[in-house]
């Protein structure tokens, strides 16, 4: 089940071109392309006549011609030509999805188009800040439900076991978590004081010796995460810490787009407050992060199988508190949306 009145990431902006392409979001097949002036278009990928995907047809100027009988649709999904002498049936149309380009990503609104407001797209602090560097990797395909990835991104503890060569330190095993429910999601965070930086961060922090480390894991509805890592010399961190001029901050953005109930497309990039133009650093960070996310993928693909085919009940632990709260609230939002849809249909 999915929240439909929400923005999801459909693609990287450079992936949508003048070629007709099919993408799948929330189980819906969608034909995407750019108009002659470069505007983004997303149409339901099924001709209303015999349901051949429009992406199997031809682009003609700013219209799409079905590859079966030539029915032709404009950028808002209206049929503008149909074969035969009977004219164009009034119900010859396909749904047109609102799209918006931001942060190098194309965002798609899956619900009622009248409610689509680009101001509701996830806010990314420092995206245009020239003092911050960015590294990006390719989108990843996960063979699991999107909520398993949301669980993972509300779970600072898993790094101790899943990411031993990169993000793990002794303190990540058992320092207690703090859980906060916000207006638009859940935050799980903790400060770990005076310990050795984990291997990945040892390579990038610009100070010697031990650190105080913040793990801030935040997921916002429906499925977008900010994972903030702060590393500051021991004695300068903590909730009331002054931080040091050499404090290293990495904001990791993670956008999960459900392909369907069992598959997820995962877009990510990191912003860092050091060496913005250092391409070698960006490359190294992308490679290391991608390696860590592949570790997550291996675990989550197996968790999907384990949880869908379980022969005995699973258990929850106190560390799951943030995830369970997130899932409960998202489910309440989905239920509310369905109730409104039912009322409108009556």
Q: Which residues bind Fe ion (CB under 5 A)?
A: 296
Choose between 44 and 296: whose C-beta lies nearer to Fe ion.
Answer: 296
Residue with the two structure tokens 């409610």: 115
Choose between 65 and 296: whose C-beta lies nearer to Fe ion.
Answer: 296
Q: Could you tell me the smallest distance in angstroms from the CB atom of residue 328 to Fe ion?
A: 23
Q: Could you tell me the smallest distance in angstroms from the CB atom of residue 142 to Fe ion?
A: 12
Choose between 74 and 254: whose C-beta lies nearer to Fe ion.
Answer: 254
Name the maximum alpha-carbon separation found in the chain: 81
Give the whole-angstrom CA distance, residue 2 versus residue 100: 20
Q: Could you tell me the smallest distance in angstroms from the CB atom of residue 193 to Fe ion?
A: 22
Report angle CA 320, 323, 327 to the nearest 5 degrees. Answer: 135
Tokens of 314: 């699973």
Provide CB contacts within 8 A for 82, sequence distance 6+.
69, 70, 71, 72, 88, 89, 92
Q: Could you tell me the smallest distance in angstroms from the CB atom of residue 284 to Fe ion?
A: 18
Q: Could you tell me the smallest distance in angstroms from the CB atom of residue 214 to Fe ion?
A: 16
Residue of minimal Cβ distance to Fe ion: 296
Residue with the two structure tokens 């649709």: 73
Q: Could you tell me the smallest distance in angstroms from the CB atom of residue 200 to Fe ion?
A: 12
Q: Is 29 exposed, middle or buried (0-12, 13-18, 19+ CB in 10 A)?
A: middle
Choose between 65 and 155: whose C-beta lies nearer to Fe ion.
Answer: 155
Q: Are 189 and 216 in contact (CB under 8 A)?
A: yes
Q: What is the CA radius of gyration of the chain?
A: 23
Q: Are 339 and 183 in contact (CB under 8 A)?
A: no
Provide CB contacts within 8 A for 230, sequence distance 6+.
213, 214, 216, 237, 243, 247, 248, 249
Choose between 30 and 256: whose C-beta lies nearer to Fe ion.
Answer: 256
Q: Could you tell me the smallest distance in angstroms from the CB atom of residue 291 to Fe ion?
A: 11
Give the whole-angstrom CA distance, residue 83 versus residue 194: 74
Choose between 111 and 322: whose C-beta lies nearer to Fe ion.
Answer: 322
Q: Are 105 and 9 in contact (CB under 8 A)?
A: yes
Choose between 220 and 297: whose C-beta lies nearer to Fe ion.
Answer: 297
């Amino acid at each position: 089940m999915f929240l439909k009145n929400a923005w999801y990431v459909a693609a990287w902006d450079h992936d949508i071109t003048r070629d007709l392409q099919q993408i799948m979001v929330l189980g819906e097949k969608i034909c995407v392309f750019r108009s002659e002036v470069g505007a983004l278009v997303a149409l339901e990928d099924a001709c209303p006549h015999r349901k051949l995907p429009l992406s199997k047809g031809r682009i003609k100027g700013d219209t799409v011609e079905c590859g079966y009988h030539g029915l032709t649709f404009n950028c808002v999904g209206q049929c503008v030509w149909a074969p035969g002498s009977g004219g164009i049936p009034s119900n010859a149309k396909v749904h047109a999805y609102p799209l918006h380009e931001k942060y190098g990503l194309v965002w798609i609104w899956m619900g009622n188009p009248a409610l689509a407001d680009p101001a509701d797209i996830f806010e990314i602090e420092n995206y245009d800040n020239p003092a911050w560097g960015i590294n990006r990797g390719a989108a990843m395909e996960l063979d699991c439900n999107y909520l398993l990835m949301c669980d993972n991104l509300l779970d600072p503890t898993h790094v101790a076991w899943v990411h031993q060569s990169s993000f793990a330190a002794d303190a990540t095993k058992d320092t207690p978590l703090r859980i906060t429910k916000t207006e638009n999601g859940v935050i799980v965070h903790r400060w770990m004081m005076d310990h050795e930086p984990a291997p990945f961060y040892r390579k990038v922090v610009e100070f010697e010796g031990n650190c105080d480390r913040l793990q801030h894991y935040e997921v916002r509805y429906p499925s977008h995460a900010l994972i903030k890592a702060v590393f500051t010399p021991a004695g300068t961190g903590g909730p009331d810490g002054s931080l040091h001029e050499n404090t290293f901050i990495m904001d990791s953005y993670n956008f999960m787009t459900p392909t369907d109930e069992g598959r997820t497309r995962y877009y990510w990039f990191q912003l860092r407050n050091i060496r913005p133009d250092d391409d070698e650093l960006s490359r190294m960070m992308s490679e290391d992060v991608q390696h860590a996310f592949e570790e997550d993928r291996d675990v989550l693909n197996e968790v999907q199988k384990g949880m869908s085919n379980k022969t005995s009940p699973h258990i929850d632990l106190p560390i799951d508190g943030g995830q369970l709260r997130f899932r409960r609230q998202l489910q309440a939002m989905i239920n509310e949306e369905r109730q409104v849809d039912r009322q409108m249909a009556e």
